[in-house]
Amino acid sequence: MELGRVDAGGDMTQFQRIMAVFPSLTPKQHEVLAFVAENRTSKEIAWELGISESAVNQRVEGVRSRTGSPPRAELARAYRQYQQDQIAACNPLPEKNPQVPAIPMFDEDRGRDELVERLTLADGATFKVTAPWQEETSRRVVPEVLDGANAGLSRTAAMIAIAGGLLLVAVFGLDLATKLSNLL
């Protein structure tokens, strides 16, 4: 069916009746119909929107009942046309941007250096960008021995030494506890 077709009695066609209902739909119905226009299934739409499949079907059936119960494919086709009409209804951009003066960029009688001077900002500022971890504002927490060329090896040796020390403390603690329990 075509958009401009009218029945013999002067009545609107089914396609036109469908198109006439779209502006009065809720935002949720528009959201679901946008996916229907992409020929998505109810299950896919439900997954995308994070709602149940029955909620999707309720919204689609609500639109179908208001438009005379057309097939889902016809509803999708009509909604695609409606979306195109909405885009076409937007005001087109003017040919010239009124905020930018119409100054020719390249003049034949000017040199290249003059063009660069004309496009250079007069109040340019220089910024130094450094990462926060590159700034040396506080004392170092990690000794230099653990942060140098052989940092991986040094850190591994330090972890082994700490683990060995903890093991010795645990063994001596257990030995002390057994000796104290024997005294009591």
Within 10 Å of residue 64's Cβ, how many Cβ atoms?
A: 18
| pLDDT recorded at residue 56 | 93
**Local confidence band at 19 (pLDDT 50, 70, 90 cut-offs):** confident
Is the model's pLDDT at 9 over the cut of 50? no
As a whole number of angstroms, the distance between CA 158 and CA 156 comes to: 5
What is the average pLDDT score of the chain? Answer: 77
Q: pLDDT per residue over 61-72, tens digit each?
A: 999 998 888 899
**Lowest-pLDDT range of 122-136, 143-157, 166-180:** 122-136
In the chain, the percentage of residues whose pLDDT exceeds 90 is 32
Tens digits of per-residue pLDDT, 78-119? 999 888 888 776 656 556 555 555 555 555 555 555 555 555
Q: Which band of pLDDT confidence, cut at 50, 70 and 90, is reported for residue 168?
A: very high
pLDDT at site 5: 45
- For residue 34, the Cα-to-chain-centroid distance in whole angstroms is 19
Which tokens belong to 9?
């009695």
Tell me which residue of 136, 134, 101 sits closest to 118, measured CA to CA: 101
* 36 burial type by CB count under 10 A (0-12 exposed, 13-18 middle, 19+ buried): buried
Collapsing DSSP states into helix, strand and coil, what is residue 151? Answer: helix
More confident residue, 84 or 137: 84
pLDDT band of residue 139 (cuts 50, 70, 90) is low
- Confidence (pTM): 0.45
